[in-house]
Structure 1
Amino acid sequence: MSDHKAILEEEFEVLESIFPDELEKLSDNSVQIRIEPEEQSFTYPITLNLIIDYPETYPDVIPNLSIEEIEDEGELRDGEEETILENLNIIAEESIGMAMTFTIASAAKEALAVLIVERIRKEREEDDRRTREYEEAEAARTRGTPLTIDAFNTWRKSFTAELRVKREKEEEDRIKALPPKEREDWKKRKERPTGRQLFESSTALATSDEGLYEDGVEEVDMRKYTREEREAERRKEEEEEERRRQGLVRGDGDSDNE
């Protein structure tokens, strides 16, 4: 029996006592060990098969290591398999010259525990990132757009246009609901020019109310008089009225005396 086979048989006996349920001998030069972390995670459960192929020069060289997923026992994410195998190969390099399978299997369990911790860390970082984005979006939404004169004028113009359209629509609906006679009266009133339109369309109306009187009636333009002249004119009219009244009274007295 070669030294290589003797070393492997002796190591297999030890491994079978350590991993009675986890170890499976695939051939004279390879084994498979079921690996799971010391404390399994309910959120990220993971169990793998660690496959070890021993070269003829083992333990003077490291064995060939590979990982196999177990169905319904969790899946590896991108980059995780490479990370685990890289760490296991480093451990194996440090154990060259001695039996190293137990050391590699123990390191694989620790690697799965670290993997779970890393998954939890990344998940928390992602939750924190989403929380920050949500809070920033809410802050921006509640803060609103800074009010400026240009922004206000733009809003006011838009609001006024919308309000005008709304009122015209309401007026149109209201007119449609009127009885025919009332609708006809409304149209006549609508077509009648307003006082402002009359004022703006006629120079004569803009300076006097002459057009509102019958032809042949002369109107006194009081703007030709100053305030004092208008007051004197008013007193003169009152005096004349008083003299006419007194004349009527005296005339009645003379008739009685006769």
Structure 2
Amino acid sequence: MGREEQAEEREVLESIFPDEITDISETEFKVTVTLDIPGEEESEEGSPAFSLNVKYPDEYPDVPPHLEIQAIPDAPSHPNFSVADDREQLLAGLEETIQENMGMAMVFTIVSALKEAAEQLVQDRKDAVTKAEEEQLLAAEAEENKKFEGTRVTPETFMKWREGFLKEMEEKHAREEEERLADLKKAKVKEPVKLTGRQLWERGLAGKGDEEEEGEDGPPVDGMQKLKVEAT
């Protein structure tokens, strides 16, 4: 492609990028590339952007154009994109596109691929931040859940638990049996104690017949008095 063909491509590019393209010379121009970040609203300052400088060599398009990515003064910044840090990576990523379009007008394809690669780079970094935050939350949640996790059951831990459980049940049964026997002893009614005649008489519980019987067992008070009188 000679100068005439290069000029034709330049005219086509101006119709596609009327506000983004600026001539530097007859064989050199720059295109402003503005990034559209999915899920983000454009700020008052605008979207992040950079410029792609394109210079035609005489043999273009049989040889690739000279490309350079430059920062735009006062352009809005983005935490996940830096022209200084990402320039080399973005240019290296254009190599495959250039080789696929060798011998054809390729600037439009290069600009499109560059814009897509820069936006994907930003998105990948956003996703990485989101993933790291999610992993941090999951790790914190897992740590919290450990407080509520029981001991993992294995044959050994089950047998140990079973032995302890059976022993506990035996001890509980023994305690219940002791308590039952103690309650029976407390509930047992004691048999009344049978008092002797003297005890009934002394307590004033004996009747007339009892008094006579008591007299037989006790001292013969009336008889002795009678004998004493007769002796006198």
CA-CA distance at 1:24 after TM superposition:
0.6
Aligned to 2:16: 18
TM-score by length of 2: 0.52
1:5-154 correspondence runs (5 A): 5-38=3-36, 41-42=40-41, 45-70=47-72, 71-75=74-78, 76-77=81-82, 80-139=86-145, 142=147
- Aligned AA for 1:17? S
CA-CA distance at 1:64 after TM superposition:
1.9
CA-CA distance at 1:25 after TM superposition:
0.9
CA-CA distance at 1:43 after TM superposition:
8.4
Distance between the aligned counterparts of 1:24 and 1:9, measured in 2? Answer: 14
Distance between the aligned counterparts of 1:72 and 1:13, measured in 2? Answer: 26
1:28–1:43 distance in 2 versus 1, CA, 3 Å? closer
Distance between the aligned counterparts of 1:90 and 1:43, measured in 2? Answer: 31
> Greater shift after overlay, 54-63 or 38-47?
38-47
CA-CA distance at 1:17 after TM superposition:
0.9
Contact 1:54–1:63, Cα closer than 8 Å, also in 2: yes
1:202-217 correspondence runs (5 A): none
Q: Deviations over 1:194-245 (max 9, x none)?
A: xxxxxxxxxxxxxxxxxxxxxxxxxxxxxxxxxxxxxxxxxxxxxxxxxxxx
- Of all paired residues, the percent bearing the same amino acid is 31
CA-CA distance at 1:106 after TM superposition:
1.3
Structure (1/2) with the larger helix percentage: 1
CA-CA distance at 1:63 after TM superposition:
1.2
CA-CA distance at 1:4 after TM superposition:
2.7
Contact 2:30–2:53, Cα closer than 8 Å, also in 1: yes
- Secondary structure of 2:108's counterpart equals helix
RMSD: 2.9
- Aligned AA for 2:26? D
- Secondary structure of 2:138's counterpart equals helix
- Secondary structure of 1:120's counterpart equals helix
1:115–1:42 distance in 2 versus 1, CA, 3 Å? farther
1:122–1:80 distance in 2 versus 1, CA, 3 Å? farther
- Secondary structure of 1:25's counterpart equals strand
Contact 1:22–1:34, Cα closer than 8 Å, also in 2: yes
Contact 2:28–2:53, Cα closer than 8 Å, also in 1: yes
> Greater shift after overlay, 96-105 or 31-40?
31-40
1:122–1:79 distance in 2 versus 1, CA, 3 Å? farther
Flag the structure with more relative contact order, 1 or 2, with Cα contacts below 8 A and sequence separation at least 6. Answer: 2
Distance between the aligned counterparts of 2:2 and 2:111, measured in 1? Answer: 20
Contact 1:36–1:112, Cα closer than 8 Å, also in 2: no
1:64–1:117 distance in 2 versus 1, CA, 3 Å? same
- Secondary structure of 1:80's counterpart equals helix
TM-score by length of 1: 0.48
Contact 2:48–2:75, Cα closer than 8 Å, also in 1: no
- Aligned AA for 2:52? L
Contact 1:33–1:49, Cα closer than 8 Å, also in 2: yes
Aligned to 1:226: none
